[in-house]
Amino acid sequence: MLVMGIDPGIAITGYGLVRERPDGEIEMVAYGAVETPARDELPARLQQVYRGVRQLIEQHRPDSAAVERLLFGKNVTTAMAVGQARGVALLALADCGVPITEYTPASIKQAVAGYGNAGKAQVQDMVRLLLALDELPAPTTPLTRSRWRSHTCTARATSSSTTRSRRTERAAGLRASRRGR
């Protein structure tokens, strides 16, 4: 099963695709980010996120997707833009018929690191270990490196938490609802 994880953002929408192998191990297939220039107007940036996510879906044909839920912060303007980016990512997935599971940040951290309040460094290290990566990949541009790494790692954690959740459900013989985790 190929799962696409998405960490939505207006400047950087991180994605990660992981596959659960027949032996139960999880392998990284692809990762990266859809980036939009700050100089572009919001409608153009939203269109870029939509087209970027849609292109990834058409290229990789994921069986399902996991999207991080938005938590509202103090900056309402940023929260609105991120919410709109999340909406166009969900629309791209729905337009392509990809089943979607949504996760809160705490549930992603719980599934990956075993602790819902784990810090970014701990989650990143666990993703690295779960996916058997020597190091966390990063772009060559130093100005966006930490934000890019954070968004792509969250996306990989999101997709990994889906495969781990499904494995647990199968082991317990449960059929869980795919909405509202």
Nearest to 6 by CA among 47, 59, 58, 64: 64
pLDDT at position 115 is 78
pLDDT at position 171 is 45
> Are the CB atoms for 144 and 9 separated by under 8 Å?
no
pLDDT at position 72 is 65
Structure confidence by residue, pLDDT tens digits, 5-61: 898 989 989 888 888 888 878 888 888 889 899 999 999 999 999 999 999 999 999
Domain membership of residue 178 (yes or no) is: no
CATH number at residue 76: 3.30.420.10
Domain membership of residue 132 (yes or no) is: yes
SS3 149: helix
Structure confidence by residue, pLDDT tens digits, 74-126: 677 778 888 999 999 999 999 999 999 888 888 888 887 787 788 877 877 88
Domain membership of residue 144 (yes or no) is: yes
How many angstroms separate the CA atoms of 70 and 29, rounded? 25
Residue range(s) defining the domain that contains residue 79? 2-172
> Are the CB atoms for 158 and 6 separated by under 8 Å?
yes
> What's the pLDDT band for 174 if we cut at 50, 70, 90?
very low
113 against 174, higher pLDDT = 113
Domain membership of residue 179 (yes or no) is: no
Give me the long-range contacts of 32-38 (CB less than 8 A, separation at least 24).
Answer: 32/152, 33/139, 33/148, 33/151, 33/152, 35/11, 35/144, 35/148, 36/10, 36/11, 38/11
pLDDT at position 79 is 83
Q: How many domains does the chain contain in total?
A: 1
Nearest to 131 by CA among 163, 104, 98, 168: 163
User: What is the distance, to the nearest Å, from the Cα of residue 181 to the centroid of all Cα atoms in its chain?
Assistant: 15
How many angstroms separate the CA atoms of 33 and 95, rounded? 20
pLDDT at position 176 is 40
SS3 30: strand
Nearest to 153 by CA among 138, 171, 174, 173: 138
pLDDT at position 20 is 83
> What's the pLDDT band for 168 if we cut at 50, 70, 90?
very low
Whether the CA torsion 26, 19, 117, 12 is positive or negative: it is positive
Domain membership of residue 177 (yes or no) is: no
Domain membership of residue 71 (yes or no) is: yes
